[in-house]
Amino acid sequence: MKKIVLTAAIVMAATSALGQSAAEKSGANSLVGVAPKTEDFVLEAATSDLFEIESSKLALNSTDPATKTFAEQMVKDHQKTSMELKQLIDSGKVKATLPTAMTEDQQEALNKLKGLKGEEFTEQYHSDQEDAHEDAVDLFKRYGEEGENADLKAWAAKTAPALEHHLQMAKDLNK
């Protein structure tokens, strides 16, 4: 128990010392349940959508019907959330810059998927989707509970249940 408390204290100190953006990037905010800054949330939500859409487009060619159905749902749902986030920014309700590309890690994961075929592709896609949705659920819940922008906070809270459903679907595919 002392070890957990000490670890949390170190993480909180690092969060304070490094600033919220560095703490979000390192995962420290997630570990202690701290909401990301608005700019960090927008960046992570948008790049997550980009990855999930692009990787799911690759999976549309899958011969596995369950994977193909899941991929269709991911493309549709994440295009919708991307549009909603863009509308919040374009309306001026959220002051942030919408990224136009995935993170380097997401691009590497997508490139890896592009090189896989058959069962190897399916297994990697399923794993990537479960990981991406675990991160998204965490991100949206934290911002939906304690985010600094009221409009974005409401949107994150409203969107989180759909992401939780996606996560459960991804877990079911991984069984």
| pLDDT, tens only, 6-28 | 334 334 433 333 333 555 555 55
CA proximity to 55, closest of 65, 44, 47: 47
Q: Which two tokens stand for residue 43?
A: 């960046």
State the average pLDDT for the chain: 86
Q: Which two tokens stand for residue 74?
A: 């991911």
The pLDDT assigned to 27 comes to 59
Question: 48: Cβ–Cβ under 8 A, 6 or more apart, which residues?
Answer: 106, 132, 135, 136, 139
| pLDDT, tens only, 60-118 | 987 899 999 999 999 999 999 999 999 999 999 999 999 999 999 999 999 999 999 99
Helices and strands (H and E) in the chain: how many: 7, 0
Question: In this structure, are residues 32 and 11 in contact, taking their beta carbons and an 8 Å threshold?
Answer: yes
CA 76 to chain centre: 16
Overall pTM > 0.85: no
- Rounded Cα distance, 167 and 84, in Å: 20
The pLDDT assigned to 10 comes to 38
Q: What is the largest CA-CA distance in the chain?
A: 51
- Rounded Cα distance, 159 and 172, in Å: 20
CA atoms within 13 A on the CB side of 81: 29
